[in-house]
Structures are given as structure tokens and as C-alpha cells.
Amino acid sequence: RKEVEQDPGPFNVPEGATVAFNCTYSNSASQSFFWYRQDCRKEPKLLMSVYSSGNEDGRFTAQLNRASQYISLLIRDSKLSDSATYLCVVKRNTNAGKSTFGDGTTLTVKP
Amino acid sequence: NAGVTQTPKFQVLKTGQSMTLQCAQDMNHEYMSWYRQDPGMGLRLIHYSVGAGITDQGEVPNGYNVSRSTTEDFPLRLLSAAPSQTSVYFCASSYSWGGGEETQYFGPGTRLLVL
């Protein structure tokens, strides 16, 4: 079983839709969680960190459920520019510098 | 700041050849990592470093060597290239871990084809 698992999609949604991605992790010692965005053939860039209490940044909301070991990303009012691959990243603070990436979920927003 | 830079952008190698992928960062980050990304997959950690003179293996280290003689540079060496090493290689750096300052900054990647 992979340490970090994501639904690969693709998710095809119309502009203005709300879409949610889930990510599960297997190691209960995981401490830090992130969502990165990767555009086609480009480098990943941090979208947002995920905090225990949940956090929101504009149209994006991230949540963490430690008991069930999953994190989620909700995108409201989807824009064409949201089309990308979204990577879930998990880090164990006992191993500084070492992150584990999920395989990513691909989102295509259509007019 | 230039951020994280990688050279070359593209490279074609023949099986058995060796080469070094260069990575440099000008943000004074302690942590640097090398990942490979195969089509349709996420990033897999090859090697990482938590500071100058300190390196460790990641998930897929076989066939690769690294060293970290300075804070700024973290080269990745392919010892004897194999077709299975055809991939996109990303270098990343981060300032710290914990306390929210864990953002990894990635270079633009090196696309490697091994024939």
C-alpha cells in the first residue's frame, strides 16, 4: 500500500462548480500536510498547508482528519485557471526534510 | 533571488554514460532534495540533505549519488545511465521544518532521456 494515496481522476467540471479531492495517508506519525499544484510539465508549487483546525484561502479550503488519516481540498467556484494536477504531500517531522508525495489528482475545468 | 535553478533543462544520454545534474539555490535554505517524476505519477524522493556535509537516501536512491559541499549546491550524479532512469528530475529546497516554514521551492526540472 502506498504511503500517500489520491484518486487520480481526472475530474472534469464546468466553470463555477465545486470540487473536492481526498488524500489518505498510512503513517500515523505524519505531522505536516500540504497541497501542491502542478501545471503541465512544470514544477510543483505550494498551494496551501493543511492545519489541524482546517484552513481557507479564498476559494480553497483544506481540512485534516487525523482519526481517519485523510486530508481534503475543496475548490469553490472553479475557474479555468484551476485546471492542473493537485499533489498531496505528507511529512513526518521525525525525519526532517523528507516528504512523501501522492501521485496527484488531475482537474480540468471546462467553459 | 533566482530561487532554485537546475541545469541542464534537457539531456539525452546513451546507456552506460554518466552525468551530473546541477542544482543551486540562493535562498540560504538548509534542506535540499532530489525527486524524479515519471509520467502520470507523483514525485519520488531520490536523495535529500539537511545541511552542508549531510545527505541521506530517499525512496529510490539506487543508481544515483549526491554530495553537499556547500549550502547552495546539491548536484545529482548518475553513475551509469539506464533507460529506467528516463524521467523528469526536480530539485527542491526549503528553509526549515516545523513552525509553518516548510514550503518546498522547486527548480524547473531536468528532462532526461536515456537511450
Alpha carbons A56 and A73: distance in angstroms, whole number? 10
Pick from B105, B23, B108: which is nearest to B71 by CA? Answer: B23
Terminal-to-terminal C-alpha distance of chain A: 37
Contact B76, B66 (CB under 8 A): yes
| Residue of chain A with shortest Cα separation from B100 | A49
Smallest Cβ–Cβ distance between A96 and the set B59, B97, B100 belongs to: B97
Closest CB from B43, B102, B108 relative to A91: B102
Distance (Å, whole) CA A4 – CA A88: 8
Look at residue A98 in the predicted model and tell me its pLDDT. Answer: 75
Grid coordinates standing for B34? 532530489
The answer to whether the beta carbons of residues A30 and A92 sit under 8 Å apart is yes
CA angle in degrees (0–180, nearest 5) for A58-B42-A66: 60
Q: What is the pLDDT of residue A97?
A: 59
Q: For the sheet containing A70-75, what is the strand order?
A: A4-6, A19-25, A70-75, A60-65, A55-57
Phi, psi of B84 (to 5 degrees): -65, -10
Could B104 and A46 be called an inter-chain contact, meaning their C-beta atoms sit closer than 8 Å?
A: yes
pLDDT digits (tens, 9 = 90+) for A92-101: 765 565 788 9
CB contact under 8 A, A43 and B42: no
B83 φ, ψ (degrees, to nearest 5): -55, -30
List the grid coordinates of B113. 532521456
B100–chain A Cβ distance below 8 A for any pair: yes
pLDDT at A41: 82
Per-residue pLDDT tens digits for B35-62: 999 987 889 999 999 889 999 999 999 9
Q: Which residue has the cell 528553509?
A: B95
Which pLDDT score, from 0 to 100, does residue B19 have?
Answer: 96
* pLDDT tens digits, one per residue of A7-57: 888 999 999 999 999 999 998 888 889 999 999 989 999 999 898 888 999
Do the chains contact at A99 and B98, CB–CB below 8 Å?
Answer: no
pLDDT above 70: residue B97 = no
Query: Backbone dihedral region of A55: left (phi > 0), alpha (psi from -120 to 50 degrees) or beta?
Result: beta
